[in-house]
Amino acid sequence: MSQVGDDNLRDRLSRALPAAMKARDRLAMTALRSALAAIDNAGAVDPTQAASTGSGLGAARAAHSEFAGTVAGVGAAEVKRRSLSQAQMEAIVRTEIADRETAATGYERAGQLQHAERLHAEAKILRSHLNTT
């Protein structure tokens, strides 16, 4: 299912998503989309850096008078996203797995076995995309 190797985890998850969609595998689609969103959110721009640094077309920046800490003008949104290391991406996916396992345990205690099984299956799908070496 996964292609363990030198490529990064986000790329493996991204490649797996269309295959899951084609197979109409809702569990895999849910798990993969959630993990990709978590990785993308972690790579989001630090708001303090976005307001203070500019790159690209940012020369025309000016403080926006109506919203504190924002800028307006051409290139105001042009800020480089944070680059995550392979280890950081793996930690994020491991957290996604742990969250699912914890929630599944709660569902099992509450007698909601279908929900617990779904979360265990999603965790297994994500685990299959992690490097095991």
- Residue 122 Cα distances to 21, 29, 116, angstroms: 15, 9, 10
Q: What integer pLDDT is reported at residue 47 of this predicted model?
A: 65
**Tens of pLDDT, residues 47-98:** 666 555 544 444 444 555 566 666 666 666 666 778 889 999 999 999 999 9
As given in the structure block, the two tokens for residue 92 are 């994020």
Nearest to 120 by CA among 34, 27, 25, 14: 27
Gap between the Cα atoms of 93 and 9, Å rounded: 9
Given a cut of 90, whether residue 101 has pLDDT beyond it is yes
Pair 75, 54: CB distance under 8 Å: yes
Q: Which percentage of the chain shows pLDDT scores above 90?
A: 57
